[in-house]
Amino acid sequence: MKITRLGDVQSRARRVAVGFFDGVHLGHREVIRGSDSVLTFDPHPSTVVAPQHTPKLLTALDVKAELVEALGVKELIVIGFDADFAKRSAQEFMDDVLVGSLGATHVSVGENFRFGNRAKGDPRMLAEDERFSTRVATLLEVEGEIVSSSHIRGLVLAGEVEQAARFLGAPFQMRGEVLHGDERGRELGFPTANLIPDDALVCPGHGVYACLADGLPAAVNIGVRPTFDTGRGELVEAHILDFDGDLYGRQLRLDFLSRLRGERRFQSAEELVEQMRRDVERAREITTAYTS
């Protein structure tokens, strides 16, 4: 898939889906369906127009691009959203971007999509423009609940990764570089690959999770390790089952399948080790069932 900044785009007939598409969840996939191009924004528009309301995101731009590509889209067009772009009226967005730059013949948006200065543009305004056809995807419901990025963010923050996966259409994923830690896990017999959460992205709530780490079964702890007075901040520690390789400096992808338990303080290292053994076996059962 080709990734193009708006200023470098070549005008051609396009069937384009427009939106921020954080997480590329099931509702987004319905908006994107049938489009050969996706138009998105980076950074999130709220960082410019309402920075106090900027959410932590489900996906960084590179991950969003991978998810969009998997839907068969040929081109991802990225608008560098800044104060100047935010001043454009809804009509200018249609004239200059959709028609002028993109040559859109078909535009697909969600029913809650808003655009232009002060968000005055809406799907009805798009539908009234005869230069392109407009498709408006209604909000998708799963199990009686509206699928939205904001709701999924709340689920992930609460540790409800299984429910989040139902709305995303795939497990919530986190990526990061494996860093050196204090090797406490290795001392306890459970070596871990350590990641520091990106402050701009959503991180699952503190606790222990069954995950796939680059496709391998793993038990992952997120928290501050209350049993030990380490002085460290929030940390993601992935114990990859039956693995003893060197991962330092590598990018690791974690797919969150299920929350095993919350974060706890143990009276002794021995009590913690016993619980870790149970966590590992439960993680093995869950990941085996998921991959088989």
Q: Which residues are catalytic?
A: 237
Q: How far is Cα 164 from Cα 142, in angstroms, rounded to an integer? A: 11
- Which tokens hold the place of 108? 């697909």
Contacting residues for 23 by C-beta, under 8 A, at least 6 apart: 58, 59, 149, 152, 168
| Burial of 17 (C-beta count, 10 Å sphere; 0-12/13-18/19+) | buried
- Distance, C-alpha 90 to centroid of its chain: 28
Measure the N-to-C terminal CA separation of the chain; round to a whole number of Å.
Answer: 30
How far are the Cα atoms of 115, 138, 279 from residue 165, in angstroms, in the given order? Answer: 28, 20, 21
Instruction: Kindly give the residue spans of alpha helices, DSSP state H, lying in the chain.
Output: 26-32, 46-49, 61-69, 83-86, 90-92, 123-127, 149-157, 161-168, 184-187, 269-291
- Which is it for strands 14-18 and 37-42: parallel, antiparallel or unpaired? parallel
Nearest to 221 by CA among 231, 232, 229, 211: 211
Contact indicator for 237, 185 with CB cutoff of 8 Å: yes
Per-residue DSSP letters for 71-102?
Answer: TT-SEEEEEE--HHHHT--HHHIIIIIIIIIT
